[in-house]
Structure 1
């Protein structure tokens, strides 16, 4: 097929997807992450997806990664089902090129450089915001592909209890309970959850290279258990001063196929705690002080015998000032501080480092033109100073049609493993750097809302490996992509869908130049249909990805796949409902990481008590 033919086929697929899509976000949807201040999605000069609690429950997501599945431009690699290690590739960038925040606090392992999405209890999540595109000019290191921020449940209003009891395939059990409420000045939410599953055989690995996967043969069930808890509360001290605190914890154990070197089970703890003070100092000046701590703790075992421990802790603080220069102009100035610490059974040459940064952002509207400018300077104890910036411009052709263009630079600081792991690390590594450009068009006509965004990201000084398998800054990548999202309501059905195309090309100067970056599919698409019929709520999801490769040399292919999910909910009586989900209805056998199995046909049923309007 010629290049023009491919583009024509893509355009046809895009129009087909657009004609079937439904509104997942209304014009009044607010996001905080894109500009570090509350802003309507229709005014934000960035590609943003907001997943609220109603959508999480409507789609009956049993994990954070399931809630994120199908977000435009976002791909996953999973090592064998629920609770197993999960990597996120946002707009084709590396798995450690996405910054993850929980209630504004930076989370993730300082040794691995990634967040454990699989261990965040979904029952304690209120909403998830995904900002696609570089955000280092506001957040510093890691935000090359974008930012994912998770907000825990927030209370308020009349005293309201909630309860859910679920069970399904693989002896899965899922329980949660909570209580929320508040008055004129204060509010609170407290919740607890427990998820456990017997699982299935996660890995078909072979006990020797080049077997891949886990390099062992352990054909057993690999279970998972997670007990979660959250607390979030706030109080309005005066008309100009309010205080908020939050805590989230997930702990449990995970079984996997492994060896005496890697272990085959892990006891884990993921928790994050923080507080924020907001002060309306003057009518045009709002100041906030926030700080917190996140931990990623793991004890690893082999057949019940202790093997190793990796404990990382991240402490952070922020001071932010928002100035309303006029009704159409806002200036944000602030400073961030971060301290990473590593402990455990492995002795690192350096086990802590801190980072101080100052940032500024201007947002303005002039007639039909919108503009955003941002810049940031980071001073890191290990890799020194780094400056990033971004600029975005939007133009409204009409109240229902807007174009945007944006540029942003970003960087990724090397992890402790890459720098200091014994007999492996390279303390001379430099930060990875990127430049990204994006063009977008957003419109709403009749019952159809849609958007098209095209982007290119070039990454330099990517960390690869030399002939001795030592990490060095030798690789490069060029990633091009197109995202199409649209929404409508047709014959009583809410229809939603998106289509993402990706060209993640290795641009390093070696034999792999021109190859597709591993574990990224070139095509991803999702279609959703939901409808309420009397006491029933019915829905279905169709999700598909094209072929990908598991290695840099593109010799180990992972086939494309399509899965079909069905879901239904029935209102038993006021506040009580019965929910059921049948996932992977066609029992598709597929893998997103070589030799690691994904779940076949599986079912889940839940009884839920969720009072509304109290």
Structure 2
């Protein structure tokens, strides 16, 4: 590890290099292509709407929020949103919405779904990091089922990453960040990124391009204390390094038609698992007298270069392709807007190591490829009874190759009782089909802690899709200097797919309901099964107070009661704090200076839960405070600096169920704009 003095010098040098070396032209303030004050969202319904009219519980993380503190991926900012918790198993950080795991959160990039589960099934923290912060305009987080629009995987909600648009004038930025750990055994982090956008031919052809590199160095082996059981420390946070480049061409032949063509490349390496993603899309958007249309084809190929087992090299490749389209028809005479849409989607996985069939059977090693097709149609109707009362109803019918047809209906009411007070409420049903791996009879993998003496898990054709029913009711008040809202919700999930029921004990194995048999070498075999019923319910609140023209305070609080109801005795869900809260104070003492202080509280949570409660592992609640400042040297250059986890509330792993919470860190960053 390099010394702290050397790291301070490196951090200062990196910032200075950008300040001195960047020779970027001054931006014309009147030509800036950024989102303006009125917030419009596109994820909660088939049409874009003002945030106050959106038929869902939705939060928006703005571009300003993303640049407040260092952000390596979206888990570093979304844990500040009400209703969002972070699963931290094995020091991985994945997004959970309203008490449902990351598998029930659908990630979108500009409305296009992203899912790398087939390529990396053993815990997946890649999907929150495919887009660098420099390219993001905002992030829309919809809490609650959205299968009526997006189909499978949206049971918990949707995270839609909206990238910056192709601008009418050339603008851009370049930035450098460095995070310095006070603990010399913990890994520093640094990143560089750029974004540029503008016309190649005025009003006809435009381009946007972005790229970057992001790295968090691995903790030293001594970052955690020795464990009581083995006497050796558990690993800390492992090395992460990520590279990106992406480009989009926008062709506007006339006022009615726009064509977007996009190509992207990412290479993300988390610990010793490198994943390379190549994605593409071609989109047509039309604005005609009868309404608007969108037709899009897109896909990606994700290559897992080493596979899913530490210490082995078993590469696989997942390929996803989709075609979707929609037409939105305003019906002014009936005060309605109707949207009709359809989608076709194919998923394919080539995995010679795991798609081999069951060892010892005639079909073993016959076919390393599996795929599934899915088709869907949907309709959504927004009915405006009055200017203040609107009802959104919709349904999506998915025809899955393996599971047949499923409806996902939704109804949501928005009522502006006064110009300042809005009531919202709705109900929805959703479904989630088993993944390619879970449903394939030829898929299998080593498990139970050993590749040679553990157990073996396989897919199952007997699985049923998971289904969920959700209800919510909320109210929000908006006044000049004070605003806030409260929402109560309840989700009931049935047929949750499970593989936790397994053991390497050959005597106990036959007593498990999902036991299949034994491999020729004596290891027990278990298959995925539908067993779990989960109920998550709670309360989400948020508030904002404009103390003065120079000071504002925001805060939120979430109460979450999430239980596994599959057994006679209900069990708590792991990594689901019952209480969580956040507060931020922003100050702007001068036009050049802005300051912030944030508090993040993670309440008491279970890290491991057993039918015998004596073996449960619990983490007590804790809070961290970050402070920072930004200073505009001139209209083109801004520097940021501050301290993360100022009180050094670090958490060290002493059991495999625990996770590391990074201690005190210092950050510095510089951004140049043109």
> After TM superposition, is the score higher than 0.5?
yes
Deviation at 1:399, TM superposition (A): 1.2
Q: Which residue of 1 aligns with 2:626?
A: 565
Tell me if 1:154 matches 2:165: yes
Deviation at 1:110, TM superposition (A): 4.1
Q: 1 CA distance for matches of 2:577 and 2:225?
A: 22
RMSD across aligned C-alpha pairs, in angstroms?
2.7
Comparing 311-320 and 121-130, the one that deviates more: 121-130
Tell me if 1:61 matches 2:71: yes
Tell me if 1:196 matches 2:209: no
Q: Which residue of 2 aligns with 1:494?
A: 552
Q: Which residue of 1 aligns with 2:408?
A: 388
Tell me if 1:544 matches 2:580: no
Q: 2 CA distance for matches of 1:302 and 1:285?
A: 47
Of residues 573, 582, 588, the one that matches 1:526 is: 582
Question: Displaced runs of 4+ in structure 1, greater than 6 A?
Answer: 205-208, 301-305
Residue by residue over 1:280-302, the C-alpha shift from the partner in whole angstroms, topping out at 9 and shown as x without a partner, is: 3x412221101111233222389
Q: Name structure 1 gaps, 5 residues minimum.
A: 1-24, 256-264
How do 1:189-588 and structure 2 match up within 5 A? Answer: 189-201=208-220, 222-255=238-271, 265-280=272-287, 282-300=288-306, 307-326=313-332, 328-348=335-355, 351-367=370-386, 368-420=388-440, 421-422=443-444, 423-465=457-499, 466=501, 467=512, 468=515, 469-491=526-548, 492-510=550-568, 513-534=569-590, 535-553=592-610, 555-588=616-649
Query: Do 2:224 and 2:652's aligned partners in 1 also have CA atoms closer than 8 Å?
Result: no
Q: Which residue of 2 aligns with 1:9?
A: none
Q: Which residue of 1 aligns with 2:114?
A: 107
Deviation at 1:177, TM superposition (A): 2.1
Deviation at 1:246, TM superposition (A): 2.6
Q: 2 CA distance for matches of 1:32 and 1:221?
A: 35
Comparing 139-148 and 107-116, the one that deviates more: 107-116
Larger radius of gyration: 2
Q: 2 CA distance for matches of 1:225 and 1:114?
A: 15
Tell me if 1:73 matches 2:83: yes
Query: Do 2:72 and 2:214's aligned partners in 1 also have CA atoms closer than 8 Å?
Result: no
Q: How many residues align?
A: 568
Q: Structure 1 residues 284 and 544, CA, compared in 2 at 3 Å: closer, same or farther?
A: same
Deviation at 1:437, TM superposition (A): 0.5
Deviation at 1:277, TM superposition (A): 0.2
TM-score by length of 1: 0.87
Q: 2 CA distance for matches of 1:603 and 1:79?
A: 26
Q: Structure 1 residues 103 and 117, CA, compared in 2 at 3 Å: closer, same or farther?
A: same
What secondary structure sits across from 2:254 in the alignment? coil
Q: Which residue of 2 aligns with 1:14?
A: none
Bigger strand share: 1
Deviation at 1:157, TM superposition (A): 3.0
What secondary structure sits across from 2:77 in the alignment? helix
